[in-house]
Structure 1
Amino acid sequence: MKKQTSFITLSLMLATPALAGGAGAPAARPAPAACMTIAQIVAKDPNFSTLATALEAAGLTNTLKSGSYTVFAPTNAAFAKLPSDTLAMALNDTDLLRSILLYHVVPGKVSAKQVMGMTSGMTAQGGSFLVTMNGGKVMIDNATVTKADMIACNGIVHVIDTVLMPAMDTSMEGAADTAEPVMAEPVMAEPVAAEPVMAEPVATAPASVDLMSIPATPMGMTGTMTTTTDTTTMTDTTVAAPEGDMAMGDMMTEGTTLYDMIVADERFSTLRDLISDAELTEVLMTTDYTVFAPTNEAFENVNAEQLALIASNPDVLKQVLLYHVVSGKLNNEDLSAATQLRSAEGESLNLSVDGTVQMVNTAMVDGPAIEASNGNIYAINELLLPPELVIPEMPADDAMEMTDATMADTTVATTDTTTATVSTTTTTEMAPAMTGNALVDALSQPQFSTLLSLVQKADLVGALTASDVTVFAPTNDAFAKVPAATLDALMASPDALKQVLLFHVVSGRVVDDGLKVSQLRSLEGSSIDLKMEGTTMMAGVLNGNDLMGGTYSTRIDAGNSVIYPIDSVLLPPTLK
């Protein structure tokens, strides 16, 4: 109705000539600003260049020029989190890529306010995503919405920090089913206020894509997403809610993070790759920091053998990179006034001014601060090495011959100063991969022998190694609790076995605050309920106030994936 009223008002304005200077001549009117389609927004924003390439490769660019859609758009930084082989595989498989991208698309216009009133939603790919709140932020599956309500002519764009992976595609085992889905009847949302919010009619998409409607089931959430008025012009900032609507704040307009800025600047491509290898991407997307960022040229000036030894050892690499990070958002004046700063690695950085050049240890700062939403970045011309750094001498090839006996258990402190998060789990650092995949190596531990044999029997090794995953891994003792008849039935039914195993797996690396949610979406499609009782963490299926599942306390890092050993086998609610 608001849109219709605005069009009527515009028509009346154009039909009524304005007189200038009393002479009767119509005054010149500025041409109305042309709105941009979703495809144009993606194409013109450099933060979406990877997404634009993927849409073009999947033949979906024209689809997003018409119709009426909502897109959860991953940034370049989000794509950079994916293993390079996974991204290459998707880009070389049109059907697979198309399926992944359509999992980010919802038919019709779904505003931030409507998203917050949902527990799940149906995508154009046919799968459903999970909507949860985590620390005042809205999560779509395991992705955080970092900016909401970018308005296009034909829909809405919400920016997310992680690529969403549908359950059917995580296996990477074949092309997606390209048969056109039957158009489902729209499922209307229950009212979130006295007056229900009605979804706009979905325009007909091009023949190549038949999109399904989105169910919007309110869950009574409270949050801080910002609503917008219904308009056909794009805005780069969140529009204030109209008078009388609930004030939702601006938590969803956090802007571009430190990691986003590093990814977007080609001078830091080497640093970007090392940050990903050291699993520090999330660190630079949350808390406020100042980063002294070595340029590509700075890395080229390091002895190649020495750099290879640093890069081959995750602990040493993390130590070196955190030596370049300082807590807080420091501007140029702050640097000029300081003589020493404490790095996130723990050792101090010496600051001085040489004429007009700011120095950090012996490195020169090149130019003013690069501002991000959660800190500042200063380009420097040298790689900084902590004074107490011990560079490993053993080449990576020799390290691969290490046995399971070299794995060490270390307890994570209650407060982790490098990530500013709280954890109560014990972390096991895995030795370098012995089979070529860290996750498979981790599951090769004796306590997981039953699980690994079942994963192999169900032909799910590819599903677990194609991208980063989180596995709630039943131990041998957990399988011993399962009645023999139940286990025999699973062994006799490949589909049921695969269903049960995938119910233990979540797309992406879920750690620390990521576990402080009520539900996670499994690759099987059902939700895993999470519950905390004192210091005991539980996962399973909630039945009233009782959670049917198991407990876990230990975290095993396996490359970019993570494993939580669990003392019970989880059975999905859909298992028949």
Structure 2
Amino acid sequence: MKKQTSFITLSLMLATPALAGGAGAPAARPAPAACMTISQIVAKDPNFSTLATALEAAGLTNTLKSGSYTVFAPTNAAFSKLPSDTLAMALNDTEMLRSILLYHVVPGKVTAKQVMGMSSGMTAQGGSFLVTVTGGKVMIDNATVTKADVVACNGIVHVIDTVLMPAMDAMQGAADTAEPAMAEPVVAEPVMAEPVAAPAAPASVDLMSIPATPVSSGMTTTTNVTTSTTTTDTAASTATTDTVATGDTMMAGTTLYDMIVADERFSTLRDLISDAELTEVLMTTDYTVFAPTNAAFENVNPEQLALIASNPDVLKQVLLYHVVTGKLTGEDLAAATQLRSAEGESLDLTLDGTSQMVNTAMIDGAAIEASNGNIYAINELLLPPELVIPEMPADDGMETTDAAVTDTTTATVTTTTTTTTTAAAPAMTGNALVDALSQPQFSTLLSLVKKADLVAALTAADVTVFAPTNDAFAKVPAATLDALMVNPDALKQVLLFHVVSGRVVDDGLKVSQLRSLEGSSIDLKMDGTNMMAGVLKADVLTGGTYSTRIDAGNSVIYPIDSVLLPPTLK
């Protein structure tokens, strides 16, 4: 389990001016409410307990108490997307951790309005991030801003849903660089790169409309759910966000997904929600969730559960059967006999004595309140009456071919990118990404990844790979390939230019650029029904096309018909 410990290191400093004087002297004014530093905001918000732990481990807590900074702050839910071993590795490598965290920090105060006017920005770590506004979302690299303009005494916090990762070479060289001098901002307003050619943002898109989280000087808010977050002080549950008047006071930024992530009873459910790509749904819409506990999943036949989990459509169908539109109270449930699930089929509600039942499952305890709904723990996994669980294909011992992979197609994603999702190759190494790249069409790519010693780097966290096929490598002049083979640094540079941090699917592809692990930007462009990826110059994109998506665990692969060369390659 991930260690999530909040550190509270400062007490609020209240100004207490004393006015001396005799009769007729003006009465003393009450001291103004003290604002909080960035470090205090992070330390006092349970949603940032993992970030607080990481800042303390990296020795950056004191840094964010003074100076003037803008922080793109990942929530606990964002950190939960990282494999536990990756997070543990970073926490045990101070220089790597500092490099990652400083990539989330911008010197100076940058408001939401200023962010929207950027195409890129420079971080305190030394690398630059991309800003894209599309489809009603504002993205920093591959992370979505979920809350903007949380004002601190010494800066601004913008909340994001994904941990940002600097270029691979920047992290590897972190140990050779000293911590940047951050006591003073570099500039009052960061110098931004020239805007890249990108679709105009919709007029209705306004980062300012994302609810801000005002700083509270003294209002304490608590939740009625026990989480795995360990705090060093009861004040760690003091939130800095808006509240809603519903029984227990609830922090506005604590979404359904955040609450599920925070409660270790739901760790299995959390992972399945992520696999089904339902995290955003549970962060943006009002729902009531009947949440099976880990014990409930343990009572399911393992083979049946494996079949459900291995098929994205079936998994989504099962999970949505546990979701009902609207925020329903216990009284609402007791008064109802049937509810329509988000999956489409009905749920039966009955009272067995004092126990509330949903189908044959019993609700365990009171509602867990979130900002956008209620969660009820249940002791059984609910299965839709019309659910059809596909059988696992028989293993005849034959080598997997491209045709075989096509036959295991599980879903067609109907988006403007018209990408087709296919199942990854059967497990061979225990790592889904390596197994997927073990398909015959990627044999050249996999051999080069191994030669460049990049297997560990690409499997340490979720990634998106634009994977050149063997036919793509066949287009590269022999002299160019030979030069790469004898130059390990250049080979690594080219390969990392094909990799993006995080799982980028569907709307995530509807942007003009993605930041590669090599550090340069990959330009994206529509070409009829296909997407093109490469380097854009003078409206001409040099690169390749892709239309198929291969899921590899939480990572994703897009086979591409050309090898991409980074613009920085010499």
Are the aligned partners of 1:147 and 1:254 in contact in 2 as well (CA < 8 Å)? no
Match of 2:400 in 1: 404
More moved, 267-276 vs 59-68: 267-276
Amino acid at match of 2:259: M
Find the aligned partners of 1:74 and 1:296 in 2 and give their Cα distance: 26
Residue 447 of structure 1 deviates from its aligned partner by: 0.9
Find the counterpart in structure 1 of residue 231 from structure 2.
none
Task: Tell me the distance in 1 between the aligned counterparts of 2:375 and 2:396.
Answer: 36
1:217-296 alignment runs, 5 A limit = 217=193, 219=195, 223-226=205-208, 236=240, 255-276=253-274, 279-296=277-294
**Alpha-carbon separation, structure 1, partners of 2:80 and 2:52:** 14
1:93 to 2:99 alignment: no
**What CA distance in whole angstroms lies between the structure 1 residues aligned with 2:476 and 2:293?**
55
Residue 24 (structure 1) aligns with: 24
SS at match of 2:95: helix
Q: Does 1:50 align with 2:50?
A: yes
Is residue 2:458 matched to residue 1:469? Answer: no
Q: Partners of 1:324 and 1:158 in 2: how far apart?
A: 32
**Correspondence for 1:198:** none
Question: Mapping of 1:207-226 within 5 angstroms?
Answer: 214-217=190-193, 219=195, 223-226=205-208
Output the CA distance in 1 between the equivalents of 2:107 and 2:449. 36
Q: How does 1:551-570 map to 2 (within 5 A)?
A: 551-570=545-564
For 2:18 and 2:291, locate their aligned partners in 1 and report how far apart those are by CA, in whole Å.
58
Return the offset for 1:480.
Answer: 1.5
Q: CA deviation at 1:342?
A: 4.3
Which of 498, 502, 507 aligns to 1:508? It is 502
Return the letter of the residue paired with 1:262: I
Shift of 1:370: 3.9
Counterpart position of 1:549: 543
> Does the CA contact (< 8 Å) of 1:100 and 1:169 recur in 2?
no
Offset from partner CA, 1:41-64 (integer Å, 9 cap, x none)? 111110011111111111111111
Distance 2:189 2:100 in 1: 17
Is the aligned partner of 1:382 residue 2:383? no
What's the secondary structure of 1:565's corresponding residue? strand
**Structure 1 residues 483 and 100: CA distance shift in structure 2, 3 A:** same
Offset at residue 518 of structure 1 (A): 0.9
Worse-matched range after superposition: 36-45 or 486-495? 486-495
Q: Which one-letter code corresponds to 2:440 in the other structure?
A: P
1:268, 1:296 within 8 Å by CA — same for their partners in 2? yes
Report the aligned-residue RMSD.
Answer: 3.9
Name the count of aligned residue pairs: 516
CA distance in 2, matches of 1:127, 1:400: 49
1:457-495 deviations in whole A, cap 9, x for unaligned?
222212211111101111111112222222222223222
Instruction: Measure the CA separation in 1 of the matches of 2:476 and 2:240.
Output: 54
- Displacement of 1:402 in angstroms is 8.8
Matching residue of 2:177: 179
Report the more deviating stretch, 105-114 or 385-394: 385-394
Q: 1:487 to 1:254 in 2, by over 3 A?
A: farther
TM-score w.r.t. length of structure 1: 0.78
Q: State the shift of 1:522 in Å.
A: 0.9
SS of 1:177 mapped into structure 2: helix
1:27 is paired with a residue of what secondary structure?
Answer: coil
Q: Which amino acid aligns with 1:42?
A: V
For residues 1-59 of structure 1, give each alpha carbon's deviation from its aligned partner in whole angstroms, at most 9, with x where no partner exists. Answer: xxxxxxxxxx9x9799999xxx7254343222122111111111100111111111111
The structural deviation recorded for 1:548 is: 1.4
Change (3 A) 1:224 1:332: farther
Matched with 1:361 is 359
For 1:445 and 1:103, locate their aligned partners in 2 and report how far apart those are by CA, in whole Å. Answer: 35
d(CA) in 2 for partners of 1:517, 1:284: 23
* Alpha-carbon distance in 2 for matches of 1:365, 1:400: 44
Relative distance call for 1:181 and 1:48 in structure 2 (3 A) is closer
Paired position in structure 2 for 1:190: none
Looking at structure 1, the residues matched to 37 and 50 of structure 2 have their Cα atoms a distance apart, in angstroms, of: 18
Matched AA of 2:444: T
Cα offset, 1:376, TM superposition: 3.5
Query: Residue in 1 aligned with 2:81?
Result: 81
The superposition leaves residues 492-531 of structure 1 with CA deviations (integer Å, 9 ceiling, x where unpaired) of 3222222111111111000000001111111111111111
Secondary structure of the equivalent of 2:59? coil
**1:575 matched residue in structure 2:** 569
Question: Alpha carbons of 1:62 and 1:414: their partners in 2 closer, same or farther (altered >3 Å)?
Answer: closer
Q: Does 1:321 align with 2:319?
A: yes
Deviations 1:167-219 (A, max 9, x none): 1269x7x5623423777xxxxxxxxxxxxxxxxxx7448xxxx9999423474
Q: Secondary structure of 1:563's match?
A: strand
Aligned CA distance change for structure 1 residues 545 and 218 (closer, same or farther; 3 Å)? closer
Change (3 A) 1:15 1:30: closer
TM-score by structure 2 length? 0.79
Q: Which deviations, in whole Å up to 9, do the C-alpha atoms of 1:232-257 show, x marking residues without a partner?
A: 9879569xxxxxxxxxxxxxx98333
Residue 273 of structure 1: how far off its partner (Å)? 3.8
Mean CA deviation greater in 399-408 or 140-149: 399-408
- With over 3 angstroms needed to count, the CA separation of the structure-2 counterparts of 1:365 and 1:424, relative to structure 1, is same
What is the identity, as a one-letter code, of the residue corresponding to 2:255? T
**Which of 476, 497, 501 is the matching residue for 1:482?**
476
On the 8 A contact 2:531/2:546 being kept in 1, the answer is yes
Structure 1 unmatched ranges of 5 or more: 1-10, 184-201, 239-252, 416-420
User: Cα–Cα, structure 1 residues 176 and 432, in superposed 2: closer, same or farther, change >3 Å?
Assistant: farther
